[in-house]
Amino acid sequence: MGIEEKLPSGVLLTSVEKAAGWARARSVWPATFGLACCAIELFQTGGPKHDLARFGMERASNTPRQADLMIVAGRLSQKMAPVTRQIYDQMADPKWVISMGVCASSGGMFNNYAIVQGVDHIIPVDIYLPGCPPRPEMLLDAILKLHDKIMNMKLGKNRDREITELENARLGLRPLHLAEPAEADL
Amino acid sequence: MSGPDQPPKASPEETQGSEAPQGPEPPAGGASPAETDGNLPARLGEERLNAPVIRQGMFGVQGTPDTSGYGLLRVHKAPPLHSERPYGSYFDEIADALGGALEAAGLGFSDAIERVVVDRGEITFHVRRERLTEVATKLRDDPALRFELCSGVSGVHYPDEGGRELHAVYHMLSITHNRRVRLEVSVPDADPHVPSLVAVYPTCDWHERETWDFFGIIFDGHPALTRIEMPDDWKGHPQRKDYPLGGIPVEYRGAKIPAPDERRHYS
Amino acid sequence: MTAGQMPHAAAGASDAEAAEGRVYTVSGEDWDEIVAAANEARDFESGERIVINMGPQHPSTHGVLRLVLTLEGETVAEVRPAVGYLHTGIEKNMEYRTWTQGVTFCTRADYLMPIFNETAYCLAVERLLGIEDRIPERAQIIRVLMMELNRISSHLGGIAPMGLELGATTIYTQGARLRERALDLLELITGLRMNHAFIRPGGVAQDLPPGALEAIRVFLDETPELMHQLHTLIDANPIFIGRNKNIAYLDLEGCMALGVTGPMLRATGLPWDLRKSQPYCGYESYDFDVPIRDTCDAYGRYLIRMDEIDESLKIIRQCADRVAARGSVDSDPVMIRDAKIGWPAQLSLGPDGLGPSPQHIAHIMGQSMEALIHHFKLITEGFRVPAGQAYAAIESPRGELAAHVVSDGGTRPYRVHLRDPSFTHLQSVAAMCEGGFVADLIPAIASIDPVMGGVDR
């Protein structure tokens, strides 16, 4: 944009969406939702070596009402599932979910009666982070990817359109074991 | 040091698909092995051949037209473990002290204890369920026994042992004498009641709830026998052998692998 | 309670029976009398006694623990812990995997002390196999080394959140900083920071990598200074002392009745430590003390944990010295040399990643058919364990951790039960906290240091 060069210094031009995304991404408050082993790595990520405070995220919001990000860290048992949904519902929009670890993403190594096979059975997930448990650096990578996603999130009518497009794309996905060889291009 | 009566291990015990486990202490049908000549090889061999067959065939897949594998192996159920005196190490002292304490209370040793097994450096008293509370109280209070700490109860389910499917296993520790002992109570599926030891060892509270939750063993006298690990309205007792593992098939690109308990296995 | 009875009442103070109920006028230095009068008046009707649910999602319950509290004001009248929110079915899952694969499951039970879970399970399996005295000495030394490293990281993993829950975030960051160093060392040796699956039936998975001994020495040299910093930060802090001293009292009788072991039992003055009384893995040959206190309170337990970290450092030093004094791997295996049990492959890093070493492949493919068969059988179906049951107990950072393993003679466990100390200790919350304040619940639970993975398995 040539116009910015002609403005006096100290003035930036941007769009409302970008400004909102920038503000939202810079101070995401996670809800303390550490369940199992991944919670320990989450706890280490908050420590001085891998510092969550540099993203403004060390202030974990214990109350979901003020939280933006739910990092489901650990295996989600059947007994805990309604609680998870309730906490998610209590969070105010905009909210995002990182499912940290393989147990939260897909049930992990516990393919049995007691574990929900992927937290996306009950809440919508933005970033899936594999690992058993994922290292703090991996968690930081996931958080950075989430920041990118947040920064590029649209507002208003654009957002509605974005949601419709994403939904249509997802509805077109077939189960992996049924994908025809000719279409398997991913 | 361990009992002379080890179960005869049929060594290349390869079986096909079904999980037909050979419980370590299955009951002998009517009488326990005769006290006098129970250890003679010929008698043991006869007993073994008369016992039911629990595994047939070696490796190979069952339930398909696949005929590879070896089908002529027959593995019989081993007779129950039963150790004879002397048990070795400190086990004799425990058994004597327990016998003395029970007799002082007017109970015979074999009224309360069905069988004693000394195996791998550990002693197990198989207690009749009616006498469990008395035995536990004696173990806790008698100065020669003094098993102050109960590590808890856990259950084991042997669906093949008709009439004695559910076992509740208690481990006790004596800090005074630095000893360990195990109590095992067997109850049938049809009547899974065991007296609760919460009055004797309060620590058994949650352990008994867990055993009820997972196996369906009902502890009579427990103050609040409710589910502890599973959700309160769960149906079924998950760690029983007839309860499925409950997994879902795993999807890959181009294949769907069944859950772990439904896959075929070759051993 | 009239104005005349209040000793410090100012001239105009009075009380009156207003329409809503008794009215108390507070005039200074008479708080105790007011509270006593209120208690006497039995004003605790249904509106005054509240039932509050704390958890399962809560910052200070050490995981997904739910506490149902009945409160009278700030006093806890009843507390009932509800667990099971992390139940994973680990024990049932182990019945569908081989004996060696079972290690990867049981290691995730109590996830702050994975090495201890593995060791308890492997000791029980080895007892069933009858190979307890044939485990190579180097493997035993490495086991002790790993266990003590894990003890340090576990205690710090308990002390750091203890500070966080009390609102002292510096304790948390400093504890996390020190814990990071222990995790770095664990990662260097096992490849993972947690849930290592390193201790296997028959020995350990791999020998110490090159550079491990130097890293251990650096750790041993630098940690005492960092521990000293932690001590300076925490020990004499009046707020920490105020919140932990004489809180969560559980004496010896209570511990025995409730089956409590570990630092909670040693805080009552009883020096019971399974490493000393029923040693395993060669602990009888190491020189260390068992710290005890006799205050039976949360502060005593905290001090014991800090002292145990120092003792662990001592033991690690002895382990490192012993390993350094031994030879190379070929003559000094870390896995039992029994072809029917010991994991066959000596692993090495090749161009395509970690796998069996070229020497091992040459051996099984070129030199020994029998070795190839053993390798194949061990990896596909695993070894067979003779029928029987065993119970192996070890001294974990939280108390007596034991594995009760039942075998039916096959390649898979028939039943594995992990007797977890946190499960037993959580029963004592009611005994320790009823009658105290709500705020005392937090340090009480922190002093038990429960890990819900172990509680719920």
For C298-333, the pLDDT digits (tens) are 999 999 999 999 999 999 999 999 999 886 666 788
Exposed / middle / buried, residue C386 (Cβ in 10 Å: 0-12, 13-18, 19+):
middle
Q: What is the pLDDT of residues A1-31, one digit of tens each?
A: 577 777 787 788 888 988 998 988 888 999 8
Q: How confident is the model at residue C387 (pLDDT cuts 50, 70, 90)?
A: confident
Question: Which of A78, A107, A177 is the closest to B252 by Cβ?
Answer: A177
3-state secondary structure at position C262 = coil
Cβ <8 Å between B254 and A117: no
Residues of B whose CB is below 8 A from C382: 267
> Per-residue pLDDT for B35 more than 60?
no
Cβ–Cβ < 8 Å for C440, C247? yes
**CA–CA gap between residue A87 and residue A84 (Å, rounded):** 5
Position A89 confidence tier, pLDDT thresholds 50, 70, 90: very high
| Highest mean pLDDT pick, B74-88, B240-254, C251-265 | C251-265
pLDDT of residue C47: 53
Touching chains, A (3+ CB pairs < 8 A): B, C
Is the pLDDT at C43 greater than 60? The verdict is no
B26 falls in which pLDDT band (50, 70, 90)?
very low
Question: Across the interface, do A111 and B259 touch by the CB < 8 Å criterion?
Answer: yes
Chain C neighbours among B 40-79 (CB < 8 Å)?
A: 78
Q: How far apart are CA B201 and CA B173, in angstroms?
A: 12
Q: Closest CB to B251: pick one of A79, A175, A184.
A: A175
The answer to whether residues C288 and C315 touch, using CB atoms and an 8 Å cutoff, is: yes
Does the pLDDT value for residue C344 go beyond 70?
Answer: yes
pLDDT of residue B194: 93
Q: Is B245 within 8 Å of A79 when comparing Cβ atoms?
A: no
User: In the predicted model, what is the mean pLDDT of residues C19-23?
Assistant: 59
Q: Is the pTM of this model over 0.90?
A: no
Nearest CB neighbour to A177, from listed B230, B234, B251: B251
| B202:C258 CB<8 A | yes
Q: Which residue of C has its CA nearest to B10?
A: C409
Cβ of B152 and C386 within 8 Å? no
Q: Find chain A residues with C-beta within 8 A of C90's C-beta.
A: 110
Q: What is the pLDDT of residue B8?
A: 40
Q: Interior CA angle at C212 toward C207 and C213, to 5°?
A: 105
Q: What is the mean pLDDT of residues C357-366?
A: 85
pLDDT confidence of C17, banded at 50, 70, 90? very low
Structure tokens at C142: 């490495």
Which residue of chain C has the CA closest to B77? C408
Is any Cβ of chain C less than 8 angstroms from the Cβ of B137? no
Which ranges constitute the DSSP H helices of C166-237?
169-190, 212-234
Q: Which residue of B has its CA nearest to C273?
A: B175
Residue C39, pLDDT score: 66
Contact call for residues B225 and B204 (beta carbons, < 8 A): no
Per-residue pLDDT tens for B251-262? 888 888 888 888
Q: Cα-flanking dihedrals φ and ψ of residue B122, to 5°?
A: -135, 145
Which range (B27-31, B62-66, B132-136, C339-343) has the least confidence? B27-31
pLDDT at C141: 94
- pLDDT tier, B75 (very low <50, low <70, confident <90, very high otherwise): confident
Q: Measured between CB atoms, which of A112, A181, A184 is closest to B246? A: A112
Residue of A nearest to C108 (CA): A37
pLDDT over 70 at C12, yes or no: no
Of A33, A44, A112, which is closest to C57 when you measure between CB atoms? A33
Counting one residue from chain A and one from chain B, the pairs whose CB atoms sit within 8 A come to: 44
Of the given ranges (B225-229, C211-215, C363-367), which has the lowest mean pLDDT?
Answer: C363-367
Report chain B residues whose CB lies below 8 A from the CB of A111: 245, 247-248, 250, 259-260
CB within 8 Å: C257 and B265? no
How would DSSP label each residue in A79-93? TTHHHHHHHHHHSPS
- Distance (Å) from the C-alpha of residue A58 to the closest C-alpha of chain C? 10
Of A77, A85, A172, the residue nearest A115 (C-alpha): A77
Interface predicted TM-score (ipTM): 0.85
Between A37 and B17, the higher pLDDT residue: A37
Cross-chain residue pair B231–A113, CB shorter than 8 Å: no
What is the per-residue pLDDT for C389? Answer: 92
- The answer, yes or no, to whether residue C157 has pLDDT greater than 80, is yes
Q: Is A60 on the interface with C (CB under 8 A)?
A: yes
Q: Is it the case that residue B12 has pLDDT exceeding 70?
A: no
Confidence of residue B33 (pLDDT cuts 50, 70, 90): very low
- d(CA A89, nearest CA chain B) in Å: 21
Angle, helices C169-190 vs A37-45, to 10°: value is 120
More confident residue, B238 or B81: B238
* pLDDT tens, position by position, A97-149: 999 999 999 988 999 999 999 998 999 999 999 999 899 999 999 999 999 99
Which of A107, A111, A176 minimises the CB distance to B252?
Answer: A176
Interface test with B, best of C408, C425, C457 (most B CBs within 10 A): C408
CB atoms within 10 A of CB C156: 27
Beta carbons of A114 and B230 less than 8 Å apart: yes
Q: Which of residues 141-160 of A touch C (CB under 8 A)?
A: none
**Predicted pLDDT of residue C38:** 65
Q: Is the pLDDT of residue C345 over 80?
A: no
Interface check for B230 against chain A (CB to CB < 8 A): the answer is yes
Closest-approach residue (CA) in chain B for C85: B229
pLDDT single digits (tens) C400-450: 999 999 998 888 899 999 999 999 999 999 889 988 899 999 999 999 999
The vertex-A87 CA angle with A82 and A91, nearest 5°, equals: 145
pLDDT digits (tens, 9 = 90+) for B49-71: 777 777 777 666 666 777 777 77
Question: Residue B74 corresponds to which tokens in the numbers above?
Answer: 């027959």
Give the best-scoring range by mean pLDDT among B32-41, B73-82, B170-179, C32-41: B170-179
Position C15 confidence tier, pLDDT thresholds 50, 70, 90: very low
Chain C residues inside the 8 Å CB shell of B124:
389
Q: What is the pLDDT of residue B20?
A: 38
**Which helix or strand (DSSP H or E) is residue B56 part of?**
strand B53-58
Q: What is the mean pLDDT of residues B200-206?
A: 92
Q: What is the pLDDT of residues C59-109, one digit of tens each?
A: 776 888 999 998 888 888 889 999 999 999 999 999 988 999 999 999 999
Residue C221 is predicted with a pLDDT of 94
Residue whose C-alpha is closest to residue B133's, from B83, B192, B202, B194: B194
Residues 388-427 of chain C with CB under 8 A from chain B are 388-391, 393, 400, 402, 404, 406-411, 414-415, 417, 419, 423-424, 426-427
Residue B3: the pLDDT is: 38
Flag if C96 and B245 touch (Cβ within 8 Å): yes
The predicted structure's pLDDT at residue C20: 57
Q: Is the peptide bond before C56 cis (omega within 30 degrees of 0)?
A: yes
